[in-house]
């Protein structure tokens, strides 16, 4: 494989990995995002090998794009969540809300409270 082809494959694979991770956030078993590094690592490595074999504008550009895709993904993925004071403290009554359940049926917190004690579990968005 020619150096520029290695760089191109690496660059496209890096872009595919980042785009795929973003588009597949609704797929539960892919949500953690660590599978993306299984694609990003070889992608960046391939682009850098192409650059090492021949240093020209094409291989430099492709290697930089692959590296930027990997770096941007890593930075965005590992930004800590804001640490604001909780709006509802332990022991406080949780504000009423209505949301769809796992079957798509709308359920309100007030309706659930009428049946007995309720536990509300909140998950971060990137899980």
Which position has the higher pLDDT, 122 or 3?
3
How many Å from the N-terminal Cα to the C-terminal Cα in the chain?
Answer: 38
Tell me 124's DSSP state: -
* pLDDT tens, position by position, 47-74: 999 999 999 999 999 999 999 998 988 8
For residue 29, give both structure tokens.
Answer: 């078993």
Report helix, strand or coil for 65. Answer: helix
Q: 14, 46, 3, 31: which is closest to 123 by C-alpha?
A: 31
Backbone angles phi, psi at 18, to 5 degrees: -70, -45
**Residue 33's pLDDT band (cuts 50, 70, 90):** low
Note the pLDDT tens digit of each residue in 75-114: 887 777 677 777 777 888 788 889 888 788 999 998 888 8
Strands (E), the chain: 98-100, 106-108
Q: What does the pLDDT read at residue 117?
A: 87
Q: How many CA atoms lie within 13 A of 85 on its CB side?
A: 2
């Amino acid at each position: 494989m020619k150096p520029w082809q290695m760089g191109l494959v690496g660059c496209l694979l890096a872009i595919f990995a980042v785009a795929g991770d973003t588009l597949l956030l609704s797929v539960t078993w892919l949500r953690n995002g660590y599978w993306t590094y299984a694609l990003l690592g070889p992608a960046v490595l391939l682009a850098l090998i192409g650059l090492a074999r021949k240093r020209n504008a094409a291989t430099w550009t492709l290697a930089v794009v692959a590296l930027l895709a990997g770096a941007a993904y890593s930075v965005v993925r590992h930004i800590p969540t804001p640490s604001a004071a909780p709006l509802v403290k332990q022991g406080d009554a949780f504000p009423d809300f209505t949301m769809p359940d796992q079957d798509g049926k709308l359920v309100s917190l007030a309706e659930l409270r009428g049946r007995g004690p309720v536990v509300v579990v909140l998950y971060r968005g990137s899980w």
